[in-house]
């Protein structure tokens, strides 16, 4: 069961390991990212950043779709991490279980503007966000579980 899908371009880091993992009670962190799945150094650093009692799977977005749609994954408590809106959309449209997406951190980059203190989106991201909102997916911003939810649709 996916407890949370989070967009965070830093993926596995202290905020995830020490606030989200215990708050959600997850036993698996799944990183769905094509670049990281092919980079042994990045995989190693993420393995060092995760809590010792939590398992880490790093998959391509396509392999994550297959894994998460498999009945065997239903008994796992999963925190699913992606780096961007596009990957979150790809997963949300192929995994019916995803009804809510947390925006945790997307750094400022060319063509993007801040909609909160830690989330920057481009026009392309906004178009995808609007598609997700139209399908009824809740899109919320929270850095940590105790923060008040800010609804993305109200900020774009």
Q: Show which residues are catalytic.
A: 13
Instruction: Return phi, psi of residue 112, to 5°.
Output: -115, 155
Q: What is the DSSP letter of 98?
A: -
Instruction: Return phi, psi of residue 96, to 5°.
Output: -60, -25
Q: For residue 85, which of 56, 49, 58, 61 has the smallest C-alpha distance?
A: 61
- Residue 123 in 3-state DSSP? helix
Query: How many residues are present in the chain?
Result: 156
Round to whole Å and give the CA distance between 51 and 60. Answer: 22
């Amino acid at each position: 069961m996916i407890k949370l899908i989070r967009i965070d371009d830093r993926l596995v880091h202290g905020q995830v390991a020490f606030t989200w993992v215990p708050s959600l009670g997850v036993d698996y962190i799944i990183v769905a990212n094509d670049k990281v799945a092919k980079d042994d150094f990045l995989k190693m650093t993420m393995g060092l950043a995760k809590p010792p009692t939590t398992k880490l799977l790093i998959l391509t977005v396509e392999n994550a779709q297959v894994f998460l749609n498999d009945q065997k994954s239903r008994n796992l408590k999963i925190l699913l991490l992606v780096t961007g809106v596009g990957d979150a959309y790809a997963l949300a449209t192929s995994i019916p279980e995803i009804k809510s997406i947390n925006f945790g951190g997307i750094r400022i980059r060319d063509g993007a503007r801040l909609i909160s203190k830690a989330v920057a989106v481009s026009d392309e991201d906004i178009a995808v966000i609007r598609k997700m909102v139209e399908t009824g997916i809740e899109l919320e911003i929270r850095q940590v579980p105790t923060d008040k939810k800010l609804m993305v649709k109200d900020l774009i």
